[in-house]
Chains A and B, each alone.
Chain A
């Protein structure tokens, strides 16, 4: 059913459709509306799962860990400081192969405290072993939830999945979202039936001590599974398309890339802005397209190479930075092409940190002025009093 609702409510509806047995979450802006909506569904008797009020995000993550280990389907949502506070538990879930799904309403990290959007929070967790997906719009964010459970719960995968959606930009934006019926979602997503879980008929030990003769094998398996998940993420996106008629990409998605020579690479809601920018540039005869990274972990190196055969330059736009190195995504792209026959030039831009607006005119300008240049970690739209000499695009 099509509804004019907030992105958060779209997610809440779809989470309910996934029939989680246990939800535990702690409020933090801009995630709050998701859990408030779920609490209301529970209060109205629509949600059959348990909603556990906890004392912290650390507690929330630990509750859903326990629930999932006991054979339940579990859900949580958070952002920023809350995600950091969950950190220890998130790594633990991946190590224990518990396919929890959480939604992250991406937000900047303190200090200075900022409640506004960027991707710094998610980037901190990139080595946690979680599958990490980024949604472009509210429909995709909603649709990602049944897909995420189906990916994570696959017996060959058994990994937790993080769905990233830009805080405020998506969570608080009111748009049309098509929410499928319970029956349709049930047909797509079967009940969670793990082979191994905590139960008294078959007592198993979870979370053993692993001495040096065993620990490395668990890491090897995790890495191997991340690689295996690549094919499944694509397959499930196709399956979803077959069932619901909607496709937002598999590991990646492309826009007007067929003959593109210069290609924007980005994740999340900025893709929407970029589509307008690319349409404008195309109208002026520019051969430009967009490569949307939908799955950040596993990172789709092969898929990216496949679609970039004819591309001369990649303009990587990212809302996070690894201090002392630079943009994370641009480095991933450089490593993707290192040693390959075809090596498009990778230009790296950092923008939109802490909710800094990203107007189309800045994107068009950076597109124009970056031609023929070597660029790494170029901050876009800095205030002039801080911007270094020679900055390409300033406020």
Chain B
């Protein structure tokens, strides 16, 4: 920092985060922001297991680490099971007051790690699982995942003369998790940090298995300007494409209404290069399908 800016020496706005600065995430990374908020909401009395993915790679290049809490990374698809082992160890040693968080990307959670996650939820072990949903395998160069939205372009679901991008629906991960009849399953977004942090705190107070899916834009993969992360995340909610809801024992208990803030899906899509191919004459029907997905979400959860 140069001295020419004649501002008064300011106090840091918050004390140092548990996921501290200096790591290697891209500018505007929604996942880095989401994880920081989750960690600070959970507090230092927490042990964390993380799947392979951007989050792990950008934060732990040896001999450095950005984590100021006990943290482990094992593999791409096992953070839920590793956390289950940690929880069992703590329980057996009579340490009942320590939070255990498992976390991973959408790929590590909804695709390759779904078996381990299901096991954890079935056993209802006292662990909070957090999925940072940036809607593709970012760490390996933006390949599609089971949570990539319909018609999004990724490196393995490119658009072309015969395709409008990803031809599969986004998996209903919240529904899958909630169907294990766990005490708490919810979605959140970096667009609304207080809501996200409140949910983490609330979840950690509930004994048993909890699940939280956090929508985290990825400027690199979604191809949007890095300063638009929050705006893009807000639009995902106000278009109805990413509903913000809470569920307890497989029943919806609370939703974030959109009401008169509702925006057309185009407002969300047009900010992102991954949907650019939808704004052509030939893509009209496909754009309509995305509208229908938003409408279905809004009706299903009663977000109007």
A117 to B301, CA, bound (A): 55
Contact A72 B47 (CB under 8 A): no
A53 to B123, CA, bound (A): 8
Per-residue interface assignment for chain B, residues 49 to 91, with 1 indicating a CB less than 8 Å from any chain A CB and 0 otherwise: 1000000110011110101111111110110011111101111
| Interface members, chain A 205-234 (any B CB < 8 Å) | 205-211, 214
Known: A56-B115, A69-B82, A205-B60. A92 touches B74 (CB 8 A): yes
Tell whether B118 is near chain A: CB-to-CB under 8 Å: yes
Query: What distance in Å separates the Cβ of B151 from its nearest Cβ neighbour in chain A?
Result: 33
With beta carbons under 8 angstroms apart, the residue of B46, B61, B70, B93 that contacts A204 is B70
Contact A89 B74 (CB under 8 A): yes
Tell whether A54 is near chain B: CB-to-CB under 8 Å: yes
With beta carbons under 8 angstroms apart, the residue of A72, A92, A200, A208 that contacts B70 is A200
Tell whether A203 is near chain B: CB-to-CB under 8 Å: yes
Contact B57 A209 (CB under 8 A): yes
Per-residue interface assignment for chain A, residues 86 to 128, with 1 indicating a CB less than 8 Å from any chain B CB and 0 otherwise: 0011001000100000000000000000000000000000000
Contact B82 A63 (CB under 8 A): yes
Contact B84 A52 (CB under 8 A): yes
Known: A199-B70, A200-B45. A67 touches B62 (CB 8 A): no
With beta carbons under 8 angstroms apart, the residue of A24, A55, A58, A209 that contacts B85 is A24
Contact B83 A66 (CB under 8 A): yes
Tell whether B288 is near chain A: CB-to-CB under 8 Å: no
Q: In chain B, what residue has the closest Cβ to A48?
A: B92
Tell whether B141 is near chain A: CB-to-CB under 8 Å: no
Contact A207 B72 (CB under 8 A): yes
* Interface range on chain B (Cβ under 8 Å from partner): 35 or more
Known: A55-B118, A63-B84, A63-B85. A200 touches B69 (CB 8 A): yes
Tell whether A138 is near chain B: CB-to-CB under 8 Å: no
Query: What distance in Å separates the Cβ of A14 from its nearest Cβ neighbour in chain B?
Result: 19
Known: A200-B45, A214-B62. A68 touches B72 (CB 8 A): no
Contact B81 A198 (CB under 8 A): no
A70 to B82, CA, bound (A): 10
Contact B74 A96 (CB under 8 A): yes
Known: A58-B116, A209-B60. A71 touches B93 (CB 8 A): yes
Tell whether A355 is near chain B: CB-to-CB under 8 Å: no
Query: What distance in Å separates the Cβ of B277 from its nearest Cβ neighbour in chain A?
Result: 34
Tell whether A64 is near chain B: CB-to-CB under 8 Å: yes
Contact A198 B86 (CB under 8 A): yes
Q: In chain A, what residue has the closest Cβ to B85?
A: A66
Q: How many residues of A contact B (CB 8 A)?
A: 43
Chain B residues positioned under 8 Å from A249 (CB to CB):
none
Known: A50-B88, A55-B115, A67-B89. A205 touches B71 (CB 8 A): yes
A214 to B86, CA, bound (A): 27
Chain B residues positioned under 8 Å from A203 (CB to CB):
44, 67-71
Tell whether B252 is near chain A: CB-to-CB under 8 Å: no
Contact A62 B72 (CB under 8 A): no
Contact A22 B85 (CB under 8 A): yes
A57 to B191, CA, bound (A): 39
Contact A52 B71 (CB under 8 A): no
Tell whether A74 is near chain B: CB-to-CB under 8 Å: yes
Name the residue among B68, B70, B77, B123 with the largest chain A CB count within 10 angstroms: B70
Query: What distance in Å separates the Cβ of B106 from its nearest Cβ neighbour in chain A?
Result: 19
A117 to B145, CA, bound (A): 40
Contact A63 B70 (CB under 8 A): no
Chain B residues positioned under 8 Å from A72 (CB to CB):
85, 88-89, 92-93
With beta carbons under 8 angstroms apart, the residue of A48, A89, A204, A206 that contacts B73 is A206
Contact B88 A52 (CB under 8 A): yes
Chain B residues positioned under 8 Å from A69 (CB to CB):
72, 82, 85-86
Tell whether B264 is near chain A: CB-to-CB under 8 Å: no
A49 to B98, CA, bound (A): 19
Contact A58 B115 (CB under 8 A): yes
Chain A residues positioned under 8 Å from B69 (CB to CB):
200, 203
Known: A22-B92, A59-B119. A211 touches B85 (CB 8 A): no
Known: A55-B115, A55-B122. A63 touches B60 (CB 8 A): no
Contact A50 B91 (CB under 8 A): yes
With beta carbons under 8 angstroms apart, the residue of B45, B65, B88, B116 that contacts A205 is B65
A210 to B63, CA, bound (A): 8
Q: In chain B, what residue has the closest Cβ to A24?
A: B85
Contact A62 B75 (CB under 8 A): yes
Known: A54-B81, A65-B82. A206 touches B119 (CB 8 A): no
Tell whether A29 is near chain B: CB-to-CB under 8 Å: no
Contact A208 B88 (CB under 8 A): no
| Interface members, chain B 83-132 (any A CB < 8 Å) | 83-86, 88-93, 98, 115-116, 118-119, 122-123
With beta carbons under 8 angstroms apart, the residue of A22, A62, A200 that contacts B78 is A62
Chain B residues positioned under 8 Å from A59 (CB to CB):
78, 81, 84, 115-116, 119
Chain A residues positioned under 8 Å from B119 (CB to CB):
54-56, 59
What residues of chain B have their CB less than 8 Å away from a CB belonging to chain A?
Answer: 44-47, 49, 56-57, 60-63, 65, 67-75, 77-78, 81-86, 88-93, 98, 115-116, 118-119, 122-123
- Pairs A-B, 6 closest by C-beta atoms: A66-B85, A62-B81, A72-B89, A66-B82, A207-B73, A67-B85
A-B CB contact pairs (8 Å), 12 listed: A21-B93, A52-B85, A58-B116, A59-B78, A59-B81, A62-B81, A66-B72, A66-B83, A70-B47, A70-B85, A200-B45, A205-B60
Known: A74-B85, A205-B72. 12 other contacts (CB 8 A): A22-B89, A22-B92, A50-B92, A52-B123, A54-B81, A58-B81, A58-B115, A62-B116, A64-B85, A89-B78, A92-B75, A199-B47
